[in-house]
Every structure is written in structure tokens, then in C-alpha cells.
Structure 1
Amino acid sequence: MLKRFASIIVAATLAFSGLAFTTSEQAEASTGTFAYSKVNGLNIRTSASLNSSVVAKMDKGQRYTYLGKVGSFYKINYKGTHRYISASSTYTYLKAATTSTVTTSSTSTASSARSKLVAESKKYLGVPYRFGGTTTAGFDCSGYTGHVYKKAINKSIPRDSRSQYANSKKVSKSAIQAGDLVFFSHNGSTIQHVGMALSKTQMINSETGGVKYASFTS
């Protein structure tokens, strides 16, 4: 880990693909619209095509958050991942929920994920730093954050810090929450290090000396 950094760049980890919505999807989801199945055994597919793989089934009355229409399919949030179901009125229908219901559900889910990330991150305090390391035998910075995400919320994120940064939603430092990733740049452009925020000023990361607590400016 470099000792000094010219800038701090923050990205909200819960915005990694498959974990949360894009900006346009957040606007759609905030309306509280759900896609319901009218039948038992409705196919949930990986893409908006009848040729795509079926990953699960929906039963009558079951619902998932509606994220928009793609051709003849509804895009839904299925267990944190974008999936697709038929938009035919024979099989499905849309219904808006109350704002309070959606807000409570969304807040609860995000809070739970963040709590799990923080708890998991602290299990590895003292694990030595190892260049290229991704296991408890030794972590490098991104190997550590990737391991925590996988173990805490079963989310696979890119292997290196630059890719993690490229595939995340950027937020301001004032918006940092526990569980967010904090990225560091020595030259103001290329990412060289990543840690996980515990507060608006403190993080936990794998650096020289191993997994430890640190401030954003240490």
C-alpha cells in the first residue's frame, strides 16, 4: 500500500451489478411497482428471450420488484439480480405498492447487507498482507474486499481495485456509509488501493502489516 495518496474516491458498494439498481432503475423501483404472477410455475429467465435459461419459477400471487419492460418481458429484481418474466396479461400483471412499504423493505435490505459486511470484515483483523492474496493465508487490498463481500453477502465483485472501482456507483465522501468501498489514487487518476468504510472517516483494509483499521487520511 502506498503511504500517501493524492485523492480519495468513494464508491457505493451496494451498487455493484446484481446488488442494486442503476439510476434509472432506482427511479422505477421507487414507484413501488411489483410484477405478480397469475399462474403457478411461471418461468424466471436470465434475459428477455424465450431462448434464455430458466433460473427459477414463480407461483400464483408471488411478486418481485418491477424494473421496466424489455420487449415482451418484464425486468424484475430477483434476489438482487436482474431477471425477466413474461409480460403477457395471461400470465402476469403489475400493481403499485404503498411508498412506505417499499421504503421500509429497501432500507431494511440495505441495512442488513451493510451490517453483515462490517461484521465479516472484522473477522480477519491481523491476517497478513500478501501480494495477490485472496485467502485467509494472506490478502492484498482487493483480495480482502472481494473475500469479505463473498462471505458476507455472497456477492462476487471484480478481483482488482481498478475493476472494483470501474464497476461501482460513485458517491461523494459526505455520503459514505459503513460497507462502502473507499478507493485511493496516488496520482489522482489510477486506482492503487481499496478499503471498506466503517464510518465517514474510518475504514478497515489490508495493507502493509496486514488487515487493520485505518483512517481515510492515514
Structure 2
Amino acid sequence: MSLQAVLAEVDPGWFARTGESLDPRLLASARRSRLGSRLLARMLLEAGAADALLAPRPGGATPTAILRWPRAKLNRLVRDLGVLAYAPLIRAEVRREPVRRIKKALGGSYLLALDPTIWDARVDRHVHDRLRGEWDALFAQLAGQPEDDAPLFAVLERQGRAELRRWAAERDRPLGEWVALQHPPEELVRGHLPEKPVLLLATHHETRREAA
């Protein structure tokens, strides 16, 4: 994958400077040219956003994190990590309508939150209280949007990105930078998943065969 192709996956927000976004036409032009791509890459490096991902490699090889984690696969991992992170609330949910809605929206991923062999879902009281507050606010919003699950996915995916970046900061820095760059710069929510379930899910998604 060329540098231009890599930069095409980076959210435009990472190229903003002094609070102002780069003109979309200039950004598109820069992404198409070698010189422009090098300048954009330098912007990411100067911001400390891609030190590991864009580190020099023999022969200019594509970073392995990008080859291992195309966007669709990475998105599935992020959502599942979010589901797992909210397992303490999902397991405790007994209200009929929220349970029905969660099952319908998440499909097979719902079972992740219920499986004690992946994670026992034990968290400190302050973590549980924070998750409870976010969960209650989410379902108050969803009550007024009976056909729109976007807020649910947004909450799960934001938490999933935080969990993955927290884990990757110690275990796989290029992966952490790759997932961050595909979304606008954001203030991370606090992560709480132990290392083992994150590694388990990451390994599962990385080695899973794509459907034909």
C-alpha cells in the first residue's frame, strides 16, 4: 500500500492546524501527489500522531498494522471491545425493551458480554458508577429514537477505541495510532478492560477468516 493510500484513510481532522481545518481541495490535491503526501506525513509525525506507524522501514514497506487491520476488520474489533467494556451493564440489564434492543442491534456480539470465559466483568465501584451513568443517559436518548441505534453504536465504539488504544500503547503502538487516525482527534474516555480479554479479541479478529 502506497503512502498516498495510507493517508487516504486518515481523518481530515488530523491535518488541522491552529484550530482550522485544511481546505478540502488542498487536502485532496496533497493526497494525490508524492510531495504532498510527504508533507502530510510530516504533519502527522510532528504532531506525534504516527511515530510508530510511519517509522522508516526497509524498502519502504507498508506498516504491518495497516496490512493486518483493514478498516472493516478494525471496526469490528473496536465495536466488540466496546460491547465487552460495557459487559457489567449489559449483564445486569433486565428491562425488557433495552434487552430486546441490545440483542437486535448487536446480534452475535451480544454474547460476548455474557461469556465469563472471556471476562468476568468485575470492575471497581467508581468504574461501575461511571458506566451506569453513561448507560442510563444513552437509553434515555434511545427511548426517543426507537428506530435509530446510531447512539448505541457511537457509545460502544468510542469506548472500544479507548480500550484498544490503551492496550496498544504498551503492546502494539502502530495499531493504536492506526485506529486513532481513522477517526477525528478525540479526548479518550477511560478504559478499564484487563489485558487478557483485549488480547483474546484482537487475536480472534486478526486470525478470523473473512466471509467469501
Q: TM-score, normalised by structure 1?
A: 0.22
Larger-Rg structure: 1
Q: Identify the structure with the greater strand proportion.
A: 1
Give the TM-score taking structure 2 as reference length.
0.23
Task: Name whichever structure is richer in helix by fraction.
Answer: 2
